[in-house]
Amino acid sequence: MSEYQEPVHVSSTATPRWVGIALVVLAAVSLLGIGIGWSALSHANSVEQTTQTSVKQANDALAQKLAKEDEINQQLQSDLKVVTDKLNVTQSDLVKARKQNRQSSVAVDKKIAGLESSVNTQLAAKANADDVNKLNTDVTGVKTDLDATSPATMMRSTSFAEWARATIMNLRSRARLARRRSARCKSS
């Protein structure tokens, strides 16, 4: 070794402080995540157990109701069998009775429809007869007015044309009135 060698300095660098802090924070976050996960898992397990218990209770209740309904169904079937045996009613008798019921229902419906159309026709005819009676009354009024105008009155008037014009105007106004009444009767 030579005297002229330079001394070798070995320097070691220490890890920065932030790395240690980051490791501690990372460890704390990891522990917190594990704790939250454990809590969620235990909560999920308790919910699952509660759900299973309620489903089991519901299934048991449904099974009891089903058994009860089956028992009632069996009783009703036996009661029906006893009744049909006592009545000596066969399936064909039931079919015949149902068919007769349908036929009578159809016949009643037809009668009702016929009565409805008959009533409508009679009402329409009645309305028309009422219209004719009103027009007849109006015509009778005009006739009475004409009869009241005697030939002597016609001679006294200044001219026959004026009398005829007045009579025509009177007839037109009465005809308008009769048409209005007829239209009101038809609309109501």
State the Cα–Cα distance between residues 52 and 69, nearest whole angstrom.
25
The predicted pLDDT at position 93 comes to 75
The pLDDT of residue 129 is 64
pTM over 0.85: no
Span 63-85, mean pLDDT? 86
Reduced DSSP (H G I as helix, E B as strand, rest coil) percent helix, strand, coil of the chain, to 5: 85, 0, 15
Percent of the chain whose predicted confidence (pLDDT) is above 90: 26
The arithmetic mean of pLDDT across residues 101-112, rounded, is 81
pLDDT at 137 over 60: yes
In the prediction, which pLDDT does 133 show?
Answer: 66
Min mean pLDDT across 103-107, 144-148, 183-187 is at: 144-148
pLDDT band for 142, please (50, 70, 90 cuts): low
Residue pair 135/178 in contact by the 8 Å Cβ criterion: yes
pLDDT digits (tens, 9 = 90+) for 122-134: 766 665 666 666 6
